[in-house]
Amino acid sequence: KAGVTQTPRYLIKTRGQQVTLSCSPISGHRSVSWYQQTPGQGLQFLFEYFSETQRNKGNFPGRFSGRQFSNSRSEMNVSTLELGDSALYLCASSFGIGGGQETQYFGPGTRLLVL
Amino acid sequence: AQSVTQPDIHITVSEGASLELRCNYSYGATPYLFWYVQSPGQGLQLLLKYFSGDTLVQGIKGFEAEFKRSQSSFNLRKPSVHWSDAAEYFCAVGASNTGKLIFGQGTTLQVKP
């Protein structure tokens, strides 16, 4: 099976712009979670989607949003970019509802640089 | 509150030496525990996981981890380190009713030739 894929792999934006990142889960997986990784804050949970519904959300401002499509593919959007949004954004998929009850498999990430 | 602590930010070992990476967690119920490895510029690869049962779990690449409830620990071990093991290692705990993994700050492993 193909693993989790994320596009694009690298992105450069300027402050104030918006960005959309895409994640395709492993075939058959219905849950997608997103994480932000920065040197200062480490890995932080953004949100989780299961069957097109957001189940959980981390402590991030409303500028961060996401959605999931009927084929389980997910997108996350960041509006009004700030310098502090520069990070590696990781997507993870699992068969069921994720977290403690399922193993999450991670994609290679999208490296976002905000100038 | 749930949390994961990896006390060692950076560890250097010689190739062929044994390795132990420490992980302590704080979680009210029986935790679901994971170790992931991340090579530079890459995503996270699952090494092993503990859900229940035998407290010594085997993973990929020759790694193992032992769950000790009394010490709230889930330390990762490898008897003989290879140069290719140099990477960053993350311990994580998963809450039973959410899709959220809580990660430690990571331990960077450097392997000396």
Q: What is the mean pLDDT of residues B31-50?
A: 92
Query: Tokens 């809580």 belong to which residue?
Result: B102
* Record: contact B44-A90, CB cut-off 8 A: yes
Query: Tokens 């994320």 belong to which residue?
Result: A6
B77, B61 in Cβ contact below 8 A? no
> What number of C-beta contacts closer than 8 Å exist between A and B?
78
Q: What is the mean pLDDT of residues B6-31?
A: 93
pLDDT of residue B1: 74
Q: What is the mean pLDDT of residues B65-87?
A: 96
Picking from B32, B43, B102, the nearest residue to A107 by CB comes out as B43
> CA-CA distances (angstroms) from residue A95 to A33, A61, A65, B67?
12, 28, 22, 25
Contact A108/B at CB under 8 A: yes
B47, B37 in Cβ contact below 8 A? yes
Picking from B45, B95, B105, the nearest residue to A99 by CB comes out as B95
Q: What is the mean pLDDT of chain A?
A: 94
Instruction: Quickly state the pLDDT bin for A98 (edges 50, 70, 90).
Output: low
Sign of CA dihedral B54, B55, B58, B59: positive
d(CA A74, CA A91): 9
Q: Is residue A99 pLDDT above 70, yes or no?
A: no
In chain B, residues with a C-beta closer than 8 Å to the C-beta of A5 are none
